[in-house]
Amino acid sequence: MSQHRSAVLIAAVLGLGLALPPRSLTGVLRAPQPVIVGIAPADTVAATYAARYKIDPELAGTIHRLAVENGLEPAAVFGLIATESAFNARAVGQAGAVGLMQIKPSTARAYDSRATRERLFNPEINLRVGLTHLRRELAHFGHDWTLGLLSYNMGRTRLSRALSRGIVPRNEYASKVLAHCGKLCT
């Protein structure tokens, strides 16, 4: 069996979409070097998010990169930022939370001793601190996205107190964030 047919057969058995290199200009088939098709490069994915949310492609790239580095579903992170700040790096909330991920300086200092209100307006710093905090809340609640997001939004102590009384807070926050990622965050 030719190498070309072997590669195609293996791809079919494994259910992979493969693209084989074209014949060279001399008409001789080059050694098969399958390339997996259907996995978009990170910059293409970031460009898709930039277009979807009408944000700067560089910001979308930073959000996507840091979400992946933190092992978080990028769609959920984009949804959280859309919900928290509408991608406004200078946003200030009523409770004193600031930046893209609406982090309070007191919360940020638990992860970065140099965190100040002014430094949290820097998107990279805000994202690093915010994603670390989100990852911690998700881990604390067994990677349950609904509880992790509620904890991120209302605070772990308030959520834990409610849960210990048998009350699951009815809060549209988690639903609103998770609507951005469909079944990816379940």
For the chain, give the longest Cα–Cα distance: 76
Q: In this predicted structure, what is the pLDDT of residue 168? A: 82
User: What value does the mean pLDDT take over residues 141-166?
Assistant: 94
CA gap 81, 88 in Å, rounded: 9
Q: In this predicted structure, what is the pLDDT of residue 22? A: 39
User: What value does the mean pLDDT take over residues 57-83?
Assistant: 96
Given pLDDT bands bounded at 50, 70 and 90, which one contains residue 40?
Answer: low
Given pLDDT bands bounded at 50, 70 and 90, which one contains residue 186?
Answer: low
Q: 89 and 95 in contact (C-beta within 8 Å)?
A: no
Q: What percent of the chain has pLDDT over 70?
A: 75
Judge whether residue 18 has pLDDT over 80.
no
Cβ within 8 Å of residue 102, ≥6 positions away: 84, 85, 91, 93, 130
Given pLDDT bands bounded at 50, 70 and 90, which one contains residue 65?
Answer: very high
**Sequence spans of domains, the chain:** 3-36, 42-185
Q: In this predicted structure, what is the pLDDT of residue 41? A: 67
User: What value does the mean pLDDT take over residues 45-50?
Assistant: 93
Find out if CATH 2.60.40.740 is the number for domain 42-185. no
User: What value does the mean pLDDT take over residues 168-177?
Assistant: 86
> What three-state secondary structure class fits 35?
strand
Q: In this predicted structure, what is the pLDDT of residue 160? A: 94
Judge whether residue 73 has pLDDT over 50.
yes
pTM of this structure: 0.75
Q: How many residues does the chain have?
A: 186
Judge whether residue 36 has pLDDT over 60.
no
